Structures are given as structure tokens and as C-alpha cells.
Amino acid sequence: MELIVRAGQHAPSGDNCQPWRFEWDEDSLGIVFVSERADSLYDVEQTASWVALGAVLTNMRVAATRVGLGLSVELFPRNAPQALAARVRFHAVTRDDDPLLPAIEQRCVNRRPYRAEPLHAHLRQELLAVASGEAHVRLDLVESEPLKSKLAALAASQDRILFENRLLHDGLYRWLRWSPQEIADTQDGMPVETLELAPCERTGFRLLRFWGWASFLARLGATQFLPLRAEHCYRHSAAIGLVSTQEPRPDDWVRAGEIFERLWLTATLRGLSLQPITGITFLWLRMRLADGEGLSPTHQRLIERLAQEIGAILPAFLQQTPVVLFRLGKAQAPSQRAMRRPLDEVLTLRECWRA
């Protein structure tokens, strides 16, 4: 059980907030959503969290093959506490390691510029095959240089909003870890090294943690230049992709997260780096699902324009429900990796989930 839960812990979550607790009662494993860890303007109706839950389930399925177990998953069980996001039961299967197993601990976000080498045809087909046959989940890849450049600029534009909206700004800095001691103490969030900032950039970025400075720059109009660095980085990718679903339903979010994690593990196994660049996706969903609550009229108009322009390149962004926008390609290893909390902090033995 520890092996399976540890694999689930290695799944990605927004800002590495790790909003899960696991409770085993010798009959089933409860995956409990710790909502206060996931509190974010991006996480409208817990969409980002349910995508992260899907990634947890994929990792657990892959790891369970090592010990000859399969998973039966009940999402959002009835007659259970609201925080219980999933109940997992196990059954015996033929012991046969999933080929993706080594990628679970190798997988991480890489924010370096990627080498702009095109995807080989066989690799493209292997990635697209991850979502083939899925009734509700779609995967699109954009590889042409002009369209990648346009998407890079559009996706990066959300960085302006990130430093002009107090809730988004504070949410980002809540999860940044600035020193080895802070990383060791929390074992969550993002070490600042994972942002791949140059020393001079890191100084400015640290100064911007004070909302007074960020809002002052916004009043001067300087925040409109903040997306330029991300845009440059995003352009240097083999492809920019989108995972989308037909409907904005919790079960579909989870399934999309399962597919996205399998895609990420496959890419990792093939030597590709990947970075979600999906802030604009969740801001667009806040417009669609919550009428833009928490966003200024100026930002709402900007998000609407960005969404329309992204949809002109990736029609699924408007015609379906976008889930994750991402970039992938070959790159140097990241400077630092995010940590995971100790197992004894997230796994407990209880008898509280039996219906």
C-alpha cells in the first residue's frame, strides 16, 4: 500500500500543493481532498484539483501492477463525507510491470527552454495514441512554427494577469520556496530554482512578492512586459498541446487528468520534457463556469480575446472544454525538482469510509 500511495503522491498538482490525504481501512483506500491546500482562483469548481486527482489515479494504477493488483475506483462516493474524492478497492491481477512505472519518479515539470527539434513521426503517433479511443477526452498537438509562436504569445499573456490580480499573485507566492531550509521544512510547493530564473530575474521576482511593488508596476503599465520571458521560452518547444473534454463534469475532469498523466509519463519515458502552461485555460474556465468572478472587467475582456484567438488555432479550446495546455520537447534536466511530503503525513489507517 505504501508503494501505491507513494506513486500517487508523485502525481502533479497545482503549484505542487499536494491536496490529498490517503486513508486505508483494510477494505478500501480513501483519497480525501484537502480543499484548503488547493484554494486558488485557478481552481474554479475544483476543476484543477479533479484533473490532479486523475493523475494520482493513473500513477496508482501503474504502480499497482508491480504487486499484481488492479484498481476499482468509485469517484465522489455517495453517503460519504464530502471531502472523500475517491474510494479505491483492489483486486488481484497478473503481476506484470507497466512499462510506464520507471517514469513515475522521473516525471517533473521542466521550465527550461526546449530544443526546437520536431517530433519524430513515430513519437507523435505514440503520444496521440494515449487519448485515441477515448469517448470524452481529446488530445491535439500543434507543431508548425508560426502557430506555436502565436500560441506561445497567447498562453504567456496570462502572466500579466498573474501580477495584476491580488488573489493570483498571493496564491503564487504562497507556494514558492526560497531556501533549502524552507524546502526541507515544507516538502511541498515550488523551489524557486524550478522557475529557471537568471540571478537578476530572481532578484526582481523576489521583490515582486510584495503586492505593493507588483501593483505599482501594474499602475505604470510595466506588467504588460512580464509575459515576454515566458513567451520566448514557450516558443522553444517541439509542440504545444491541449487536452480537452466534451463536458465540464467532475468525472470528465478526472478522466482527462488520467490521460494527461499517462501522456506525461509516456513523454518522460521517451526523453521528452513537459511543462503545463495552462493558467489561461483555467482563467477561461472561470469565465465560463463562474462568470469571471474574482477577475476585473479589464481582465475578463483580455481573457475573452485570448480564448478566441487560441480557439482559432485549437478549435477544441472553444468547441470542447479545455483542460490542460502544455508544451513539450527535449531539454536539459531542470535545475531543481519539487519535493513530496513524507508518507506518514498523508497516509493514515482508519475505519471511516465503509458505507
Residue 138, classed as helix, strand or coil, is strand
* Residue 231 domain flag: yes
Domain that holds residue 152: 109-163+226-329
Answer yes or no: is pLDDT of 156 > 80: yes
Instruction: Tell me, yes or no, whether 123 and 33 share the same domain.
Output: no
Give the pLDDT of residue 355: 46
Q: What share of the chain has pLDDT > 70, as a percent?
A: 98
Whether 239 and 65 have beta carbons less than 8 Å apart is answered as: no
pTM above 0.75, yes or no: yes
For residue 346, report the phi and psi dihedrals to the nearest 5 degrees.
Answer: -120, -10
Whether 93 and 65 have beta carbons less than 8 Å apart is answered as: yes
Supply the CATH number for residue 292's domain.
3.40.109.10
Task: Write the DSSP assignment of 226-258 as a string of letters.
Answer: THHHHHHHHHSSSEEEEEEESS--HHHHHHHHH
Positive/negative CA dihedral, 288, 52, 279, 173:
positive
Q: Which of 322, 320, 290, 321 is nearest to 151 (CA)?
A: 322
Give the pLDDT of residue 14: 96
Instruction: Tell me, yes or no, whether 64 and 138 share the same domain.
Output: no
Q: What is the SS3 assignment for 142-179? A: ECCHHHHHHHHHHHHCHHHHHCCCHHHHHHHHHCEECC
Instruction: Tell me, yes or no, whether 115 and 101 share the same domain.
Output: no
* Residue 174 domain flag: no
* Residue 56 domain flag: yes
Instruction: Tell me, yes or no, whether 236 and 321 share the same domain.
Output: yes
Q: What is the mean pLDDT of the chain?
A: 95
Give the pLDDT of residue 116: 78
Distance CA 59, CA 137 (A): 18
Instruction: Tell me, yes or no, whether 89 and 7 share the same domain.
Output: yes
Residue range 6-26: mean pLDDT, rounded: 96
Instruction: Tell me, yes or no, whether 251 and 136 share the same domain.
Output: yes
Instruction: Tell me, yes or no, whether 154 and 26 share the same domain.
Output: no
* Residue 14 domain flag: yes
Whether 49 and 43 have beta carbons less than 8 Å apart is answered as: yes
Residue 128, classed as helix, strand or coil, is helix
> C-alpha grid cell for residue 331?
531539454
Count of domains for the chain: 2
What are the pLDDT digits (tens) for 91-128? 999 998 999 999 999 999 999 999 979 999 999 999 99
* Residue 210 domain flag: no
Neighbour-count burial of 324, counting CB atoms closer than 10 A to its CB (0-12 exposed, 13-18 middle, 19+ buried) = buried
Whether 54 and 257 have beta carbons less than 8 Å apart is answered as: yes
* Residue 97 domain flag: yes
Give the pLDDT of residue 353: 45
Answer yes or no: is pLDDT of 80 > 90: no
Whether 87 and 29 have beta carbons less than 8 Å apart is answered as: yes
Q: Which residue has better confidence, 133 or 36?
A: 36
Residue 351 pLDDT level (bands cut at 50, 70, 90): low
What are the pLDDT digits (tens) for 203-229? 999 999 999 999 999 999 899 998 999
**Amino acid identity, position 259:** I
Question: Which residue in the block uniquely carries the three cell numbers 484537502?
Answer: 34
Instruction: Tell me, yes or no, whether 287 and 140 share the same domain.
Output: yes
* Residue 187 domain flag: no
What are the pLDDT digits (tens) for 23-55? 998 889 999 999 999 999 999 999 999 999 999
